[in-house]
Amino acid sequence: MDPLSNLPIECLQLILQVLVQDRQNGALAALLQTNKYIASITLPFLYENPYRKGMHCYMSVQTTRSRVRSDHVLTRMLLHQLPLDTLPPALSYLLLEITNSPLRKPLDYAAFIRHLCLPSWALDLDYYWPRHSHHREALAYMKGAEFAQLCKDHNLLPCYEENLGTQSEILQYHFQVILWRQACWSLASPILEQLQSLTIPVFDLDRYSAAISRLGNLEHLEFALDDIVDYSEEAYYGGDMVMSPQFESEAHARKERRLRAMVQFVRDHAQLFPGRLKTVICSDAEMWPDLNQTCPIETKLEILRILPPLKAPTFLSKTNFLHVSAHLQSTDLSQVQEITDMESPPCLWYDVHRDGREFLQRCRALKSIHMDTLGPGSFAWAVQEKRDMESLGSHSRNTNSSVQGGVVGAPSLQEPRPAYLEHGLVPLEEFNILESDEPLSDEDDNVVVAFSQTLKKLTMTAATYQQLHIPRILQVGGGWVDLPLLTTLYISAAWNRLSLDTQLYRHCPNLTLASFTDNTTRYRCRDIRTCFAAELPRLDTLDLTGWSGLTFHPATLHSTVALKKLWIAIGRDDVDAYFIPPRTELDRSFEDDLAGMEGGDGEGGNGGTPIQVTQERSRICRPKWTWDWFLPQLTSLTLTGEFAYRFQFRMLQGCPSLEFLSLNMRLTDRSEEFTRVLSKADLFMPMVTDNTGREGSFSQEQQQHQQQGGEAIVAPALEVVRLMGPWVIGDELLVQFFIHMLPSLADLEEEGVTGYTLERMCEVLRTMPNKIEEMHLSLPEPSEEDAKEMGLVGEKDDGVENDDDVRIGDDGVNAGGEDGDEVEEEAGLGVSLYLEWNKYFLKKEIPPDVV
């Protein structure tokens, strides 16, 4: 006997329960093949909830379609276990080839089912009928009078036919709706007594109401809204009948009857089995294309008020928030750790907060919250609790009283203990707030102050709409305190200007991700107030778009040795172009940089560290960008606008791991004013004479990097380069730029770059060792004769759609073939050149007749 069979049955059941929780259905199915003993214990776990997500193993990447097919097979197998004479005539057509089969019937899987939630796609005729011939008999049935009457009985009216296709397709769709309704009842009716979860089509609710006394174990109920009572003129065009007042009145009356029946069903069950039914949801059955059926929130609340309150929920989300709001005062919220995924109507979220201002305060175990704005003072209670706790702690120390278990100065027995004394301060770690109907106000300041010792992630998203033409200035960080545990800071302020407090970075020394985004496109240098430099040694990703990039202090980069991704940009002023202030204004903003502010070099002074600041008065000038940072882990660098214009290639020398570089200074106008003409000096390290007294402020690696003056700049790992805008690279620099400085370059895309010729570029690629595979150049397409002279072969239209099948032959391009790879290796360099979006291949050698 195998070792599993020797385990006590209780141990084996615990193992199986873990497999169910981890959705290891393949492992459960494998256990069925061991022996009868283990199979008999495994089957109840495998078929307890046969339609749960992940029940079936998908053999295709199209997992949704695979699940539909698997559910279809499962449904037919379960129906096949039922006596054929008990099935409705329509449903029997689904089982014709099974009932005629000599195979023995399977095991009684229905005996193990406790949760029967049949999805509307569980009977997929589009999958089933093309594989069997019996659909012809069913089609004949659908064209008969019996089926026509059945459609009327099921309220399948022609008011939505135009969205369903041909007459045969309409009949098949109606047939599928009827089959699903009948399958739900046929599978459930023999086992109603054992079901703990059940999906009920609302159209068939009368059937279930008549058998409600058999549902004594039912705990979770889903009403599937499968009857069309909500119509959309935009989605369906059913003629005058749809839009007639009589039709609308009848639909409204039918909807009211359905809603009342749902409420009465829950009320009757609660009277028969008090406290048994725990949850009820009302969802669209997803039966009708582009026509969602909804249940009014008032009806949902009426149903939920009949149920008992949730017992100490640990989370609040769209799945249970309505239930909580229906019993707001009687629900124990002290164990709630997460509030997230709130998709209930915003009005309900606001109503709950207004009706019970202490709602959030009651969530004493709260660690994570994703919420819409609720208005000023939403977290004032948390600030007050912290102040009270600190005040009691200070009083306790002054009076030499002991503090144990976080309880300080306990009140008298007659007074109720404050929540923060009973449970401690709320340990919030993650705060995500989305600006909705209420504008952002004091939420970030209050949250930072109240949860400064626990907060790890802070996300704020301002509204994306803007009613005024003048952008709103969103001030962030003015009321902040130190956040020693904060690692993620993400603030998005589209259609606003995000103004960061100058001390903000210093409050967050352990950041690993900092992202600030706004829509700043045009600006004046005199309005920029630079943030103070900070020590951020753990920073991994820095994403600054808009005003935050302009106010960032570059000296901070001297401490970011763990930085892997750096993005500094301004918003796009046009479709794909950027604004840069006039040259004189831009240059003047960096003159006399910090002469009397930070020791003369913008990175610290008086012999201190690069990020010490001796004076913290308002800034007049912006700190210069020295481009000499040592960032050994940086792999991606993106700069736009003035940041790309001021970029110095000597920065690459301090970024040995850089793989991606994008410099985009495409301008809306005045391109000639900001043309960057590269010279040989730009590609070599400057000779450094360190007379600033900074020598002691660098590590040994940084000092070695600083002393490499005069050497050629090399970016050994850089593979992808994007150059956009008025750059000028002469022919004489191509070898140094693309070969020596970028030895690993594989992919280049430039737009607007001038100064070099296609002939020289081809010569360099052909004669110099390189790893370049693809280049997108903005040069004009050469003539046929010029291309031949340069050894370029244009991609021919051979009817080959896949570029991978195009190979270079001795006399041009050859499509496909077994020897394609050898041909390319023999005759081509494997370099693709795109000129005006036309693809060319570069030959290894220019044909002798051309030379």
Does pLDDT of 413 surpass 70? no
363 within a domain of the structure (yes/no): no
Residues 166, 30 share a domain? no
Lowest mean pLDDT among 229-233, 381-385, 740-744: 229-233
Q: Report the domain count for the chain.
A: 5
Q: Which pLDDT belongs to residue 127?
A: 61
Residue 715 domain-assigned (yes or no): no
Query: Could you tell me whether strands 279-284 and 220-225 are parallel, antiparallel, or unpaired per DSSP bridges?
Result: parallel
Q: Is residue 586 domain-shared with residue 734, that is, in the same domain?
A: no
Amino acid letter for position 590: F
Question: Looking at the structure, do residues 253 and 149 belong to the same domain, yes or no?
Answer: no
Q: Is the pLDDT of residue 407 over 80?
A: no
Report, as an integer, the average pLDDT of 812-834. Answer: 52
Position 748 confidence tier, pLDDT thresholds 50, 70, 90: very high
Please give the pLDDT value at position 397: 56
- Answer with the one of 308, 324, 345 that is the final residue of a domain: 308
The pLDDT value given to residue 589? 87
Do both 549 and 467 map to the same domain?
yes
pLDDT at 228: 78
Q: pLDDT class for 56, splitting at 50, 70, 90? A: low
What are the two backbone dihedrals, phi and then psi, of residue 776, each rounded to the nearest 5 degrees? -105, 110
Q: Are residues 795 and 823 part of one domain?
A: yes
pLDDT at 806: 31
Q: How far apart (Å, rounded) are the C-alpha atoms in residues 547 and 528?
A: 8
Give phi and psi for 837, each to the nearest 5. 70, 10
Residue with tokens 């700043």: 520
Indicate if 613 and 654 belong to the same structural domain.
yes
Comparison of pLDDT for 463 and 369, the residue scoring more? 369
Long-range contacts for 127-134 (Cβ within 8 Å, ≥24 apart)? 127/68, 127/69, 127/72, 128/72, 128/76, 128/94, 129/172, 132/96, 132/97, 134/93, 134/96, 134/97
Mean pLDDT across 300-328: 93
pLDDT band of 97, cuts 50, 70, 90: low
Give the model's pLDDT for residue 681: 94
Pick the range with the lowest mean pLDDT from 32-36, 117-121, 425-429, 569-573.
Answer: 32-36
- 499-522 tens-digit pLDDT: 999 999 999 999 999 999 998 989
Say what the pLDDT of residue 706 is.
47
Q: Which residue, chain included where needed, has tokens 């882990």?
A: 633
Confidence of residue 826 (pLDDT cuts 50, 70, 90): very low
| 737 in the same domain as 607 | no
Per-residue pLDDT at 224: 94
pLDDT for the residue numbered 172 = 80
Give residue 850's pLDDT band: very low, low, confident or very high (50, 70, 90): low
Instruction: State the average pLDDT over residues 788-814.
Output: 52
Confidence label for 418 from pLDDT (cuts 50, 70 and 90) = confident
Please give the pLDDT value at position 607.
Answer: 39
Q: Are 451 and 475 in contact (CB under 8 A)?
A: no
Per-residue pLDDT at 638: 98
Q: In this model, does residue 602 exceed pLDDT 60?
A: no
* Whole-number percent of the chain with pLDDT over 70: 75
Q: Give, in order, the Cα–Cα distances in Å from 169 to each of 141, 155, 162, 166, 413.
A: 14, 17, 11, 5, 75
Parallel, antiparallel or unpaired: strands 792-794 and 806-809: unpaired
Does residue 543 surpass a pLDDT of 70? Answer: yes
Q: Is residue 53 part of a domain?
A: no
Residue 490, pLDDT > 60, answer: yes
Low-confidence winner among 307-321, 412-426, 549-563, 655-669 (lowest mean pLDDT)? 412-426
Strands 720-724 and 660-664: parallel
Mean pLDDT, the chain, rounded, equals 80
- Per-residue pLDDT of 287-307, as tens digits, reads 777 678 889 999 999 999 999
Instruction: Please report which confidence band the pLDDT of residue 404 belongs to, taking 50, 70 and 90 as the band edges.
Output: very low
| pLDDT surpasses 70 at 119 | yes
Give alpha helix (H) positions in 356-488: 380-398, 419-423, 443-450
| pLDDT of 606 | 36
Q: CA dihedral defined by 70, 73, 78, 83, rounded to 10 degrees? A: 170
- Indicate whether 752 belongs to any domain: yes
CB atoms within 10 A of CB 524: 10
Same domain, 527 and 663: yes
* pLDDT of 600 higher than 70: no
Q: How confident is the model at residue 43 (pLDDT cuts 50, 70, 90)?
A: confident
Using the 8-state DSSP alphabet, how is residue 441 labeled? -
Q: What is the pLDDT of residues 158-205, one digit of tens each?
A: 555 555 566 777 788 888 889 999 999 999 999 999 999 999 999 999
Q: What is the pLDDT of residues 749-794, one digit of tens each?
A: 999 999 999 999 999 998 898 899 999 999 999 999 999 889 899 8
- Pick from 276, 308, 340: which residue ends a domain? 308
Q: Is the model more confident about 408 or about 339?
A: 339
Domain that holds residue 273: 196-308
Q: Sort 136 into a burial class: Cβ within 10 Å, 0-12 / 13-18 / 19+.
A: exposed
**What is the per-residue pLDDT for 803?**
40
pLDDT of 678 strictly over 70: yes
% of the chain beyond a pLDDT of 90: 45
The span from the CA of 692 to the CA of 624, in Å, is 15
> Which is more confidently placed, 797 or 208?
208
Alpha-carbon dihedral angle through residues 509, 515, 516, 521, given to the nearest 10 degrees? 140
Amino acid at 782: P
How many distinct helices (H) and strands (E) make up the chain? 28, 27
Q: What is the pLDDT of residue 823?
A: 38
Give the pLDDT confidence of 359-379 residue by residue, as tens digits. 899 999 999 999 888 888 889
754 falls within a domain: yes
The per-residue pLDDT for 343 is 58
- Same domain for 297 and 255: yes
Q: Tokens 């770059």, residue?
A: 753
Res 73: pLDDT: 81
Q: Is residue 120 part of a domain?
A: yes
Residue 435 is assigned to a structural domain of this protein: no
Residue 711 within any structural domain of the chain: no
Model confidence at 132, pLDDT cuts 50, 70, 90, reads low
How far apart are alpha carbons 379 and 425 in whole angstroms? 13
Tell me the sheet residues that pair with 316.
339
Cα separation, 170 vs 11, whole angstroms:
53
Rounded to 5°, the CA angle 579-584-587 comes to: 85
* Strand, coil or helix: 115: strand
Residues 829 and 742 in one domain: yes
Higher pLDDT among residues 627 and 64, named by residue: 627
- Confidence band of 496 (pLDDT split at 50, 70, 90): confident
Q: What is the pTM of this model?
A: 0.80
Lowest mean pLDDT among 242-246, 368-372, 456-460, 557-561: 242-246
pLDDT for the residue numbered 729: 97
- Using pLDDT thresholds of 50, 70 and 90, give the confidence band for residue 2: low
Could you report the per-residue pLDDT of 24-39, keeping only the tens digit for each? 666 777 777 677 777 7
Are residues 168 and 275 both part of a single domain? no
The CB-side HSE value for 122 (13 A sphere, CA atoms) comes to 27
Highest average pLDDT, of 22-26, 148-152, 464-468, comes from: 148-152
- Among 255, 278, 308, identify where a domain stops: 308
770 and 659 in a common domain: no
**pLDDT interval class at 730 (50, 70, 90):** very high
